[in-house]
Amino acid sequence: MSDIVRLKTQTQIDSEAAVWTWRLDAGGLTAAEQGQLEAWLHEDARHRGAFEELKRAWSLLDRLAERPQGEAAAALARPSWHSSRRKWYWPAAAAAVLVAAIGAGLWMIRRPGMQVLSTAIGQERHVTLADGSRLTLNTNTLLAVKLTARRREIYLRRGEAHFDVIHDPSRPFFVHAGDAVIRDLGTQFEVRLHSDRDVDVMVDQGRVEVQGPAAAARGNPGRAGRGGSPGWVRSLSAGERLTIAGPHLSVLSVSPRQVADALAWREGALVFKGEPLSQAIAEVGRYTDARIVLEGPQVASLRISGRFRTKDVHGFFQALQAALPVRVSQPQPGIVDIMPR
């Protein structure tokens, strides 16, 4: 009989916490179920932390759906401080786990006019909104949609999404991502949120305007932002990528081939063309809940090229061993080591 104790992964704990959160919201618990919940909370210190985070996320989404759109933007566009050990965390992002736990096809509609869409790690989802605009959500993404008679608002809280917008000047379409606001001008574009102050926007068709905080506008003067606060506005056309990294803003031209490679995830693929292995692993790591460890700078600096399936991370590791002087091992569940061969 094995003496190995297999600890739960954080994903398993989050999923169990999501089920308890859903059951509480759906109408309360019986006395027996309440006892089961208490036993579960005391079983592992991580259980209570995951449960409390999901409760806060659920409450935030309820409050957001009930607010006027201006207040909703402020509530969902800023992260909340959690502890001295974390720089910040998104309380609403935990709702992504809730959707995955209840069912892969579930959309949460908490209040009229507010829809929350999510993907779990490794998932991709295509969504058509009521106005005909099409959204594609990449792995581990969470966003909220609020459609009114005058405006269409998307609040990207985590991850990456592509937007194919039905242009309607009478109902402008906005995407809020961290400190940036992207306005559609008849467009297909992608937005990736790395953190509140780190955002990428790439346009594959049409044009957008991107508005950001004054801090990001040093050397890039622009018009005043919404509400009279100073900010910058930058227009982007097809074949341009804007990157916000803290106080720095840059715009680069990208070729049609580069656009196609960057958007290959919509076809379930990742394309690398000579990137360092460390960069490739950062991308592949978004599609698995395993922790990938590169053993040493020599391994991290190896270059990799090829097209890989996002749903076949194991195949990616096999390709690494075949093409590069590395050995891939799994010393314990949830951890993958890549070391020199």
Q: What is the pLDDT of residues 227-258, one digit of tens each?
A: 334 477 899 999 999 999 887 889 999 999 99
Strand partners, 197: none
How are strands ordered across the β-sheet holding 326-332? Answer: 291-294, 335-340, 326-332
Q: What is the pLDDT of residue 73?
A: 43
* The pair of three-digit structure tokens given for residue 167, joined into one six-digit string: 């242009």
Q: What is the pLDDT of residue 238?
A: 96
Q: Do 110 and 249 reside in the same domain of the chain?
A: yes
Whether residue 92 is contained in a domain is answered as no
Instruction: Quote the number of domains for the chain.
Output: 2
What are the DSSP calls for 33-63, one per residue? HHHHHHHHHHH-HHHHHHHHHHHHHHHHHHH
Q: What is the pLDDT of residue 1?
A: 36
Q: What is the pLDDT of residue 284?
A: 94
Q: What is the pLDDT of residue 224?
A: 36
Q: Do 246 and 275 reside in the same domain of the chain?
A: no
CATH (domain of 125)? 2.60.120.1440
Q: Do 221 and 156 reside in the same domain of the chain?
A: yes
Give the residue from 202, 233, 260 where a domain finishes: 260
Q: Do 127 and 247 reside in the same domain of the chain?
A: yes
Distances (CA, A) of 275 to 71, 97, 194: 42, 31, 19
| Among 49, 64, 56, CA closest to 16 | 49
Q: What is the pLDDT of residue 52?
A: 81
Q: Do 150 and 223 reside in the same domain of the chain?
A: yes
Q: Do 239 and 287 reside in the same domain of the chain?
A: no
Q: What is the pLDDT of residue 210?
A: 94
Q: What is the pLDDT of residue 249?
A: 87
Q: Which domain holds residue 240?
A: 104-260
Instruction: Give residue 42's identity as a one-letter amino acid code.
Output: H
Q: Which helix (H) or strand (E) holds 134?
A: strand 134-137
Q: Do 160 and 214 reside in the same domain of the chain?
A: yes
How far apart CA 341 and CA 324 sit, in angstroms, is 9
pLDDT along the chain (341 residues), means of 10: 47 70 71 88 83 69 52 42 34 45 40 72 92 94 89 91 95 92 93 89 96 54 39 90 89 95 95 94 92 92 94 93 93 91 87
Q: Do 249 and 121 reside in the same domain of the chain?
A: yes
Are residues 270 and 284 in contact, defined by beta-carbon separation less than 8 angstroms? yes
Q: Do 174 and 229 reside in the same domain of the chain?
A: yes
